[in-house]
Chain A
Amino acid sequence: MATLADSFLADLDELSDNEADVLEEENNDVANMEEDIDGDLADIETLNYDDLDSVSKLQKSQRYIDIMQKVEDALEKGSHISNQGMVLEDDPEYQLIVDCNGLSVDIENEIVIIHNFIRDKYRLKFPELESLVHHPIDYARVVKKIGNEMDLTLVDLEGLLPSAIIMVVSVTASTTSGKPLPEDVLQKTVDACDRALALDTAKKKVLEFVESRMGYIAPNLSTIVGSAVAAKLMGTAGGLSALAKMPACNVQLLGAKKKTLAGFSTATSQFRVGYIEQTEIFQTTPPALRSRACRLLASKATLAARIDSTRGDPLGNAGKTLKEEIHKKIEKWQEPPPAKQPKPLPVPDSEPKKKRGGRRLRKMKERYAITDMRKLANRMQFGVPEESSLGDGLGEGYGMLGQAGSGKLRVSIGQSKLAAKVAKKFKEKNYGSSGATSGLTSSLAFTPVQGIELTNPQAHAHQLGSGTQSTYFSETGTFSKIKRT
């Protein structure tokens, strides 16, 4: 700001005259810097601006005035069938429409800028309003209506907003932290509101004009979605070729409004649909099929827009066929499903059972697996009569169970593979005390650095590397990496 420049100059004044040359250079540098600073400051100032005109230049611009004039003239003239033989790009009307599209995008941006301006100014008065009323034009209208009023019961917001929002706004206003604005700020804010509304009406006029010419510009697109929606789509996209370049998913969302929540849940919020929602086809589909219909419409509309942008079908026949297609598809969706045929049973034992595998199954099978004892009992040595439970060949035979000179009737069960793995893991993790530890031991360790540690760091060190314990024959040791030298 100005004080910064002043401070620089003050610094320079302190310097002695001997360094006059250096001073001059520095002066220049400072001057340049000052300009730069001023430039930056100017940019910053536009944010803390006081003057609306420094922000919103569109209305004063020549281009705007020209186009608006032409639009008014054309609207008065009414529609006329233009010469089909002429190439589209040469037609002055087409040029005007292209300009209108660009202008409507510019107007929209301008409205956003003005909205920001109004919002910044009005923040002192009523900061919560911006989160309650999202739409810029509605916001402008509300601000204009409320003005500097502190008591919202005196202000009638009927017709500007839905009643639910009015209620929320009134309640918030009663507890707001804002203060009334000074007179000049209020005046500027109201001016900005007026300008925003004026721009809005201008945009509407432009759209109206484009809509009336839509049948000539984009016949296929207007056949499918209707001329009003086609005009809006073109306006938002910024031209027919811009619309044609968009993917269909974007076209679906052109003009989608952000829903004001006001404390309501998002569980019932509708799917994303923009201007397509206003088409006749969409409105006549049953609500259950609407999201599918929206996607279908958007895709066919994009196709039609692409045909129109290259002037592939000036008569609009492609649009008609596409529309027929859409109708047919929506009809088909509404058909009842085919009657359910009772299925006959499959032939028994013709479909093999789906066998599962895995650890769980293996463990289950282990419970019923044949043990070694049973295996031995099932076998017999050649030429050696087996012993039996009742003696003399009666009762159950013992097979090789007591034989082979072992003298032991008992055969150890032998650990299953899974049990071996589990046992190893158990040992590694050191679950449970071996019984040799006293009841006073705990897993807390008192270290000099941290004080109390929950795990004993000594325990870990033991595992790896006491020199006496060899890991070669260790039961819990794992592979270690051996580098080739």
Chain B
Amino acid sequence: MIGTKLACRDRKGTSRKGKSCFIKSVMHGECNGCSLQMDEVLASVAEKIKNFAVIYVVDITEVPEFNTMYELYDPSTVMFFFRNKHIMIDLGTGNNNKINWALKDKQDFIDIVETVYRGARKGRGLVIAPKDYSTKYRY
């Protein structure tokens, strides 16, 4: 099922931009409410954080090459990259590599992005998210 695409680009190519940029890929499996909600949050936030982050939406059914590498099996996944390096976030859920669920709050998301940006600029590979999501995410 082809999901909506906000932008679709090859991830490798984009790190050559002048500004330091984030590459986030929201991968859609099925077009259901979960991914749509995440899409909406990302779309509304994109303008605000455009000075330090860029959002890319990739459909995993169309680009399946990275599915095994990043274990992309959920309806919506957000991963953070800085200058071609994957940045891990400690969200309290146990999985530090990505955000598997639909984050509802825009400001929360902006905070996470900012934390990742600050940490990544300093050279950290792992940053600690400002909010704990261990209880929020119900599988």
Q: Is the CB of A348 within 8 A of B48?
A: no
> Which residue of A342, A346, A347, A348 contacts B47 across the interface (Cβ within 8 Å)?
A342
Q: How far is the CA of A144 from the CA of B139 in the complex (A)?
A: 97
Q: How far is the CA of A347 from the CA of B18 in the complex (A)?
A: 14
Instruction: List residues 337-388 of chain A with CB under 8 A from any CB of chain B.
Output: 342, 344-349
Interface SS of B by simple majority: loop
Which residues does chain A contribute within 8 Å of B51, judged by CB atoms? 344-347
Tell me the smallest distance from the CB of B51 to a CB of chain A, in Å: 5
Question: A344-B49, A345-B114, A346-B51 are known contacts; what are 15 more A-B pairs with Cβ within 8 Å?
Answer: A342-B47, A342-B48, A344-B47, A344-B48, A345-B48, A345-B49, A345-B51, A345-B52, A345-B110, A347-B51, A348-B52, A348-B117, A348-B118, A349-B118, A349-B121
Cβ-closest chain A residue relative to B118: A348
Tell me the smallest distance from the CB of B116 to a CB of chain A, in Å: 10
Which residues does chain A contribute within 8 Å of B9, judged by CB atoms? none
Which residues does chain B contribute within 8 Å of A347, judged by CB atoms? 51-52, 117
Which residues does chain B contribute within 8 Å of A349, judged by CB atoms? 118, 121
Q: How far is the CA of A348 from the CA of B82 in the complex (A)?
A: 15
Q: Does B50 contact A (CB under 8 A)?
A: yes
Tell me the smallest distance from the CB of B106 to a CB of chain A, in Å: 12
Which residues does chain A contribute within 8 Å of B121, judged by CB atoms? 349
Which residues does chain B contribute within 8 Å of A342, judged by CB atoms? 47-48
Cβ-closest chain B residue relative to A346: B51
Tell me the smallest distance from the CB of A67 to a CB of chain B, in Å: 75
**Count of chain A residues with Cβ under 8 Å from any Cβ of B?**
7
8 contacts between A and B (CB under 8 A): A344-B50, A344-B51, A345-B51, A347-B51, A347-B117, A348-B52, A348-B118, A349-B121
Q: How far is the CA of A342 from the CA of B46 in the complex (A)?
A: 12
Q: How far is the CA of A231 from the CA of B47 in the complex (A)?
A: 61
Tell me the smallest distance from the CB of B49 to a CB of chain A, in Å: 6
Which residues does chain A contribute within 8 Å of B118, judged by CB atoms? 348-349
Q: How far is the CA of A345 from the CA of B50 in the complex (A)?
A: 8
Instruction: List residues 1-39 of chain A with CB under 8 A from any CB of chain B.
Output: none
Q: How far is the CA of A344 from the CA of B48 in the complex (A)?
A: 4
Which residues does chain A contribute within 8 Å of B50, judged by CB atoms? 344
Q: How far is the CA of A347 from the CA of B49 in the complex (A)?
A: 8
Q: How far is the CA of A201 from the CA of B117 in the complex (A)?
A: 83
Cβ-closest chain B residue relative to A343: B48
Q: How far is the CA of A344 from the CA of B121 in the complex (A)?
A: 20
Instruction: List residues 29-66 of chain B with CB under 8 A from any CB of chain A.
Output: 47-52
Q: Which 8 A-B pairs have the closest CB atoms?
A: A347-B52, A347-B51, A348-B114, A344-B50, A345-B48, A344-B48, A344-B51, A348-B118
Tell me the smallest distance from the CB of B35 to a CB of chain A, in Å: 25
Which residues does chain A contribute within 8 Å of B49, judged by CB atoms? 344-345
Q: How far is the CA of A345 from the CA of B117 in the complex (A)?
A: 13
Most buried by B among A344, A345, A349: A345
Which residues does chain A contribute within 8 Å of B47, judged by CB atoms? 342, 344
Q: How far is the CA of A106 from the CA of B110 in the complex (A)?
A: 77
Which residues does chain A contribute within 8 Å of B48, judged by CB atoms? 342, 344-345
Q: How far is the CA of A476 from the CA of B91 in the complex (A)?
A: 62
Tell me the smallest distance from the CB of A418 to a CB of chain B, in Å: 36
Q: How far is the CA of A348 from the CA of B47 in the complex (A)?
A: 15
Tell me the smallest distance from the CB of A342 to a CB of chain B, in Å: 6
Over the window 97-139 of chain B, the binary record of Cβ atoms lying under 8 Å from chain A Cβ atoms (1 yes, 0 no) is 0000000000000100010011001000000000000000000
Which residues does chain A contribute within 8 Å of B52, judged by CB atoms? 345, 347-348
Tell me the smallest distance from the CB of B47 to a CB of chain A, in Å: 6
Q: How far is the CA of A348 from the CA of B115 in the complex (A)?
A: 9
Tell me the smallest distance from the CB of A5 to a CB of chain B, in Å: 97
Which residues does chain B contribute within 8 Å of A345, judged by CB atoms? 48-49, 51-52, 110, 114
Cβ-closest chain B residue relative to A345: B48
Which residues does chain B contribute within 8 Å of A346, judged by CB atoms? 51
Cβ-closest chain A residue relative to B117: A348
Q: How far is the CA of A347 from the CA of B50 in the complex (A)?
A: 9
Tell me the smallest distance from the CB of A350 to a CB of chain B, in Å: 8
Q: How far is the CA of A431 from the CA of B33 in the complex (A)?
A: 74
Over the window 271-309 of chain A, the binary record of Cβ atoms lying under 8 Å from chain B Cβ atoms (1 yes, 0 no) is 000000000000000000000000000000000000000
Q: How far is the CA of A347 from the CA of B20 in the complex (A)?
A: 10
Q: How far is the CA of A228 from the CA of B2 in the complex (A)?
A: 77
Q: How far is the CA of A228 from the CA of B47 in the complex (A)?
A: 59
Tell me the smallest distance from the CB of B120 to a CB of chain A, in Å: 11
Q: How far is the CA of A342 from the CA of B52 in the complex (A)?
A: 16
Cβ-closest chain B residue relative to A342: B47
Q: How far is the CA of A145 from the CA of B59 in the complex (A)?
A: 95
Q: How far is the CA of A346 from the CA of B50 in the complex (A)?
A: 9
Tell me the smallest distance from the CB of A394 to a CB of chain B, in Å: 32
Q: How far is the CA of A2 from the CA of B54 in the complex (A)?
A: 104
Which residues does chain A contribute within 8 Å of B110, judged by CB atoms? 345
Q: How far is the CA of A405 from the CA of B50 in the complex (A)?
A: 64
Q: How far is the CA of A344 from the CA of B46 in the complex (A)?
A: 9
Q: How far is the CA of A419 from the CA of B49 in the complex (A)?
A: 48
Tell me the smallest distance from the CB of B44 to a CB of chain A, in Å: 10
Which residues does chain A contribute within 8 Å of B114, judged by CB atoms? 345, 348
Tell me the smallest distance from the CB of B29 to a CB of chain A, in Å: 30
Cβ-closest chain A residue relative to B121: A349
Q: How far is the CA of A345 from the CA of B53 in the complex (A)?
A: 10
Which residues does chain B contribute within 8 Å of A348, judged by CB atoms? 52, 114, 117-118
Q: How far is the CA of A209 from the CA of B117 in the complex (A)?
A: 80
Cβ-closest chain A residue relative to B115: A348
